[in-house]
Amino acid sequence: MFHTLRQFISGFLSRSGSSVFIAMLSARVLSFLATWIALQLVNETDLGLVFYAYSFFTFLNPIGGLGLNHSFMRYAALHPDEAEKHNYFHYTLWKGIKIALGFIFLIFLLVFAIYRNQTDLMTYFMILSFNLLTIYIIELVKNYFRVFHQNKNYAGLEITYNFILVLLVLTLGFQFKAIGYSLALVLAPLLAVLIFLPKIKIQKQYQKPIERDGVFWKFAFYSGMAGVASQLLFNIDLIFIGNLMPNPVNVTHYKYVSLIPYSLLFIPSMFITADFVKLIEEAHDKAKIKTYINQFWTFFLVISLGVLMLAFVFPKLILSLFRADLEQYVLTFRILMVGVIGVLMFRGLFGNLLASIGKSHINFWIALGTLAVNALLNLYLIPKYGITGAAITSAIVMWTSGLLSYFLFNYYFNKKSN
């Protein structure tokens, strides 16, 4: 066991994994700090409305550029020619920007039609819609650094983005309250990319990808939609709470109770971020993939035991870090922590392995199916148990999607190998 753990960690470190770890850990700490600052500067009702509006864009962000950043990652990683890798980047950059702007225009029309009598909520929606553009750009640039094995630049961009976010939340939130917080969420990704722009050679000329039969766009679309559905799984609770429970404060409470459990998901993301290009390049090698899975499982078994200890030994202490009145949600917190283990052990790994072998459409159908289950359970459990009902739903969905990813990856991988 210790030998397996040592191999897994040393392989991770050899791919500049330490930089990725520092970046993602710093990002979680800084993101937590930004949210905590917002709670101090903005009243709970207005902040609940911002969280409600932002929850929509959190799950829409993966489709902001129609998922082209995902196709760039896969096909640029597979292509041996560096010039062609750059061509992929510029193609997805300019096409994605145009698509994101189109989505923003449509959102403006929809928001005005739906919320024109709710001025504050309409304003938050319109400001936050630009997040589709700025998040698409920063995610594409992150993937650029990953494709060219520049994990240190990836790490630097991630830290810079979250540091700028904290500064903007502090300054704009203090000056303009909820509107300032909304502006901070939109502007931080763009400012971070501008700082790292000298590390990328931007050009307007590009060629269409060489993939035929629309495979490039098909992979982009399904990857983007899978990302939308997956993000929605983690944010639909806020939407249902906001609609099924009359007090916006409940949205704020659930946001903070779920912050620590969902923040733990950065741990598998950290390893996948550093290793994903390698997994794409070695997807044909069954022995190497099986070795990686065994190492990953060994490591995250230890992590999962630590998660259970936090959930059942220190829940009140953790919740009191936000506010003393959150201690009433100990059961909700424990349920979410148990649910997160399903992502740590299964969903995070096997969802990305499905994408690495070109089966992003399977991730989409898994996410869509579990999303339907999520909606049905929330409609039943939230009116009955409040935010604890939302936590029960999330835990069931996290385990279900994780196990489906595991079984379907093994099916397609073994079928491909044979």
* 10-residue mean pLDDT series, the chain (418 residues): 70 68 79 85 83 80 84 82 84 92 93 84 91 93 88 89 94 89 94 92 70 74 75 74 77 80 82 77 80 88 89 78 74 90 89 82 85 89 89 92 91 73
Does residue 194 sit in the same domain as residue 306?
no
Phi, psi for 316 (deg, rounded to 5):
-65, -40
Does residue 237 sit in the same domain as residue 264?
yes
Q: Residue 163 burial (CB < 10 Å; 0-12/13-18/19+)? A: middle
Q: Report the pLDDT value the prediction gives residue 266, as an integer from 0 to 100.
A: 78
3-class secondary structure, 195: helix
Does residue 157 sit in the same domain as residue 274?
no
Count of structural domains within the chain: 2
Does residue 386 sit in the same domain as residue 244?
yes
Please check whether residue 11 lies inside any domain of the structure: no
Please check whether residue 10 lies inside any domain of the structure: no
Among 210, 244, 279, where does a domain finish? 210
Q: Which residue has the tokens 């992590």?
A: 303
Kind and range of the H or E run holding 263:
helix 259-263
C-alpha 166/C-alpha 338 separation (Å) is: 30
CA distances from 50 to 9, 18, 101, 120 (A): 39, 34, 21, 9
| Opening angle at CA 148, ends 284 and 189, nearest 5 | 120
Does residue 337 sit in the same domain as residue 350?
yes
Residues in the chain: 418
Among 210, 225, 244, where does a domain finish? 210
C-alpha 292/C-alpha 9 separation (Å) is: 11
C-alpha 38/C-alpha 295 separation (Å) is: 39
Among 158, 183, 210, where does a domain finish? 210
Does residue 252 sit in the same domain as residue 158?
no
Q: Residue 293 burial (CB < 10 Å; 0-12/13-18/19+)? A: middle
Q: Report the pLDDT value the prediction gives residue 168, as an integer from 0 to 100.
A: 95
Spatial neighbors of 251 by CB under 8 A, at least 6 apart, are: 48, 51, 52, 238, 241, 242, 245
| Domain span holding position 95 | 17-210
Count H helices, E strands: the chain?
A: 18, 0
Q: Tell me which residue of 335, 317, 336, 338 sits closest to 326, measured CA to CA.
A: 317
SS in 3 state form for 306-365?
HHHHHHHHCHHHHHHCCCHHHHHHHHHHHHHHHHHHHHHHHHHHHHHHHHHCCCHHHHHH
Does residue 295 sit in the same domain as residue 395?
yes
Does residue 235 sit in the same domain as residue 384?
yes
C-alpha 15/C-alpha 17 separation (Å) is: 5
C-alpha 74/C-alpha 216 separation (Å) is: 9
Q: Report the pLDDT value the prediction gives residue 105, as an integer from 0 to 100.
A: 95
Please check whether residue 363 lies inside any domain of the structure: yes
CA distances from 157 to 26, 135, 144, 163, 271 (A): 11, 13, 11, 10, 17
Does residue 193 sit in the same domain as residue 78?
yes
Residue burial 85-104, b: 16+ Cβ < 10 Å; e: rest = bbbbbbbbbbbbbebbeebb
Please check whether residue 350 lies inside any domain of the structure: yes
Does residue 121 sit in the same domain as residue 194?
yes
Sign, CA dihedral 202-206-211-217, equals positive
Does residue 182 sit in the same domain as residue 233?
no
Please check whether residue 272 lies inside any domain of the structure: yes
Please check whether residue 9 lies inside any domain of the structure: no
Please check whether residue 7 lies inside any domain of the structure: no
Q: Report the pLDDT value the prediction gives residue 412, as an integer from 0 to 100.
A: 83
Q: Name the CA dihedral angle for 255, 257, 260, 264, rounded to a multiple of 10 degrees.
A: -80
Does residue 166 sit in the same domain as residue 249?
no
C-alpha 348/C-alpha 21 separation (Å) is: 16
Please check whether residue 5 lies inside any domain of the structure: no
Q: Tell me which residue of 262, 242, 263, 386 sits closest to 336, measured CA to CA.
A: 262
